[in-house]
Amino acid sequence: GQYTHEFVGDELLYVDLEKKETVWRLPMFGELTSFDPQGALSNIATEKHNLDIMIKRSNFTPVIN
């Protein structure tokens, strides 16, 4: 997975999922504001869970006798 924030098509930051840290495209952005990578990791976990549910539901076919 990937978690990024963009503004007008330009990437501001991404979350390194292995290191669990925010990586700023331009370091000066990190001096002006902050972003908690735990929020991104939580969102990704929720989205993976929801995707698994949707996959299971879409693969359900009733038995015809």
* End-to-end C-alpha distance for the chain, whole angstroms: 41
pLDDT at position 1 is 67
Of 20, 18, 12, 19, which Cα lies nearest the Cα of 36? Answer: 20
Assess if residue 65 is contained within a domain: no
User: What is the domain count for the chain?
Assistant: 1
Whether this model's pTM surpasses 0.85: no
- Token pair belonging to 10: 């330009």
Assess if residue 63 is contained within a domain: no
| β-pair partners for 5 | 13
For 14-61, how does the pLDDT look when each residue is reduced to its tens digit (9 = 90+)?
999 899 999 999 888 888 888 889 988 999 999 999 999 998 888 766
Q: Reply yes or no on whether the pLDDT at 12 is more than 80.
A: yes
Note whether 22 and 35 are within 8 A (CB): yes
Q: Which domain holds residue 45?
A: 4-58
